[in-house]
Structure 1
Amino acid sequence: MNKLNITNKPKAILLLGPTASGKTKLAITLHQMLPIEIISVDSALIYRQMNIGTGKPTPEELSSTPHRLLDIKDPSERYSASEFRQDALIEMKQILKNDRIPCLVGGTMFYFKTLIEGLSILPSADFYIRHKIDQIANEKGTNFLHEKLCKIDPKSGYLIHPNDLQRIQRALEVFYITGKTFTEMKKLSKEPLQYDLYQFAIMPYSRELLHKRIELRFKNMLASGFEDESRYLFERGDLNINMPSMRCVGYRQMWSYISGVIKYEDMVYKGICATKQLAKRQITWMRKWNNLHWLDSDNIQIAASKVLKIFNNSTY
């Protein structure tokens, strides 16, 4: 039966961490210790046919420990934070009906933030405006759009990475529809998550160790067939580098290599560097997070025991 505390809200566990920090391994370990079901919080793992380059759990891992919200979109499709929140809430409710505890695991910090804080009252997508923004992106590039956003809405420009085309487009679209900046619109009323949250962050004690793990992980992906996976996507003919799926770390660099823009060794170097930069941004998010219990990923069993102790001590 799902455990409740004195607020009578259902419990949920949130497990955040940068790429290559051991989130999946910890989640699988926790699944053996607690009555949890796992929901993926990752903007890359949603895509089908993108398994190796995203570090998706193996079929064996998924067989023993199923993850929800994996493989729910084709790489040609878009998926917003608001859609994630809607889907996650449905999955969480279903898990509660199963008398189990939702455990949300991933590294897409904006998804976590949207889930916890709720959604601002933002306008629906406008096809005409979005098409015009897409045209500008194709003609002048993502950096041009990002610079434009920084002039219109400096705060959003600072918070949104210059390569995050989807969020740049959305911020500009909101401004062109409403005449108000994305920052202004986000201040409007929200509906926060009605769960008691137990929030954990996992990462190696040493930043140097994390970087070594990232480099090893990327090279293992290459050895496992990442290039063949990427070539299959490239040769489909309906994808391009400006799509959110193909702008995922690793795929973006592999696309440049396959299309002849950079050499293989440059792809490897740039892919590893981009992954380290992603981890840095994830850690920056985590450092600003409230109510996080920090876990050292150097020993997964100790980390899992800490989660278990904190969670059980809060239960009556």
Structure 2
Amino acid sequence: MVQKEIELLLGETASGKTDLLKERSKKEKFVVFNCDSRQIYKFLDIGTAKPDKDFLERVRHYFVDIVEYNQNFSAGDFLRKFKEYVESEDKKIILSVGTPFYLNSLIYGLDDIPDVSIETKKKVENILKDKGIFYLYELLKKVDPKRAEELNRNDKQRIARSLEVYFETNKPISSFYKKKKSVDFKIKKVNYIFLDKDQLRLRISKRVERMVSRGLIEEVEKIMSIYGENIFYEKPVIGYFETLEYIKGLITKDKMKEKIVRNTLLLVKRQRTFFKKIVKDLNDVHFI
């Protein structure tokens, strides 16, 4: 099989990846492989800033709306799907990356992570129940600071999984990430939308206002009616968890928007740190 050539488009949340792809689609033919751990979920549309329906119809996007919100989708699942999709696609592929961890797994691969016993799962579950998610996160920072840096401190599923592997093997889960590409492809070009912090802060603030005006609150209520309120605690996503707090009367609307902006900026900081590490190993990187 001929080795596939793939172009990378890197950019933190709200940097303008979709806008750039829209402009390019007026002159070029390509498909988009969407490397975003939130836009994979059905019904999470406004809060994840998914591409609009018109653009999705004009340009095929992979990894959008592929799983239910209450289903798990790991980096390993991403790798398997990526291999399946890339081998079947004949058009030019642009990998639009907002989740560096997926890209890291794609470039360097993953080792087979050992199975975890029921006893170990129960151990982590009991710690979570007794001491809470923030305690779990602080514990992860001690045993696997590299993995903790990659995660949102509210990401119960991935924090618990990381600790389960550590307790089972006495090795951090990050040690199972290997420097070996698991999918045969060639990175032809890398474009990195690199905005300064003030630009990103302004773009994020404007985006949050748009999300609210377009119906973010109603979207959260709809998701609650489908999956129940606890889904936001089990799989917290920025924008949704804060909106739930508003719906429950715990914070004002202005405070909700303020928290979404602040938490998005923290996410952007983690994304940028990760991107900087990855681009060191890439060639032909263009900062735009």
Question: Could you say whether these structures have the same fold, taking a TM-score greater than 0.5 normalized by the shorter chain as the test?
Answer: yes
RMSD value over aligned CA atoms?
A: 2.3
Secondary structure of residue in 1 paired with 2:7: strand
Are residues 1:121 and 2:121 paired?
no
Match of 1:209 among 190, 199, 215: 199
Corresponding residue number in structure 2 for 1:293: 285
| Counterpart AA for 1:215 | S
CA contact (8 A) 1:22 1:203 kept: no
Equivalent-residue separation in structure 1 for 2:81 and 2:116 (angstroms):
18
Shift of 1:93: 1.0
With normalisation by structure 1, the TM-score equals 0.81
Tell me the number of residue pairs that the alignment of Structure 1 and Structure 2 aligns: 283
Secondary structure of the structure 2 residue equivalent to 1:242: helix
From 221, 235, 251, the counterpart of 2:225: 235
Once the two structures are superposed, residues 67-114 of structure 1 have per-residue CA deviations (whole angstroms, 9 ceiling, x without a partner) of: 11111111111211111111111111111xxx3122111300100110
Q: Quick one: structure 1 residues 80 and 70, their matched pair in 2 at CA, closer, same or farther if it must change by over 3 Å?
A: same
CA distance in 2, matches of 1:251, 1:21: 20
Cα distance in 2, alignment partners of residues 181 and 275 from structure 1: 27
**Aligned partners of 1:236 and 1:10: how far apart in 2?**
39
Q: CA deviation at 1:9?
A: 2.8
Amino acid at match of 2:270: R
One-letter identity of the residue aligned with 2:164: E
Q: What amino acid is aligned across from residue 277 of structure 1 in structure 2?
A: L
Q: Secondary structure at the match of 2:233?
A: coil
User: What residue is the counterpart of 2:23 in the other structure?
Assistant: 29
Which ranges of structure 1 fall in alignment gaps of 5 or more residues? 297-316
- Residue 128 and residue 53 in structure 1: after superposition, are their counterparts in 2 closer, same or farther (change >3 A)? farther
SS of the aligned residue for 1:16 comes to strand
Matched, 1:38 2:32: yes
Change (3 A) 1:56 1:183: closer
- The residue number in structure 2 matching 1:173 is 164
CA distance in 2, matches of 1:92, 1:21: 26
Q: How many angstroms apart in 2 are the aligned matches of 1:239 and 1:87?
A: 29
What one-letter code is carried by the residue in structure 1 that aligns with 2:205? Answer: E
Alpha-carbon distance in 2 for matches of 1:74, 1:126: 26
Superposed displacement of residue 152, structure 1: 2.7
1:158 CA drift (Å): 4.2
Shifted more, 48-57 versus 150-159: the winner is: 150-159
- TM-score norm. by structure 2 comes to 0.89
Task: Work out whether 1:76 is the aligned partner of 2:65.
Answer: no
- Which of the numbers 252, 270, 281 marks the counterpart of 2:270? 281
Letter in 1 for 2:204: I
Mapped to 2, the partners of 1:281 and 1:60 lie a distance apart of 31
The aligned residue for residue 184 of structure 1 is: 175
Q: Which residue of 2 aligns with 1:58?
A: 52
Segments of structure 2 that go 5 or more residues without pairing to the other structure are: none
What is the CA-CA distance between 1:133 and the residue it aligns to? Answer: 2.7
Is 2:191 aligned against 1:200?
Answer: yes
1:196 offset after TM fit, Å? Answer: 1.3
Quote the Cα distance in structure 1 between the aligned partners of 2:155 and 2:6: 29
CA distance in structure 2 between the partners assigned to 1:195 and 1:101 by the alignment: 12
Find the aligned partners of 1:213 and 1:40 in 2 and give their Cα distance. 21
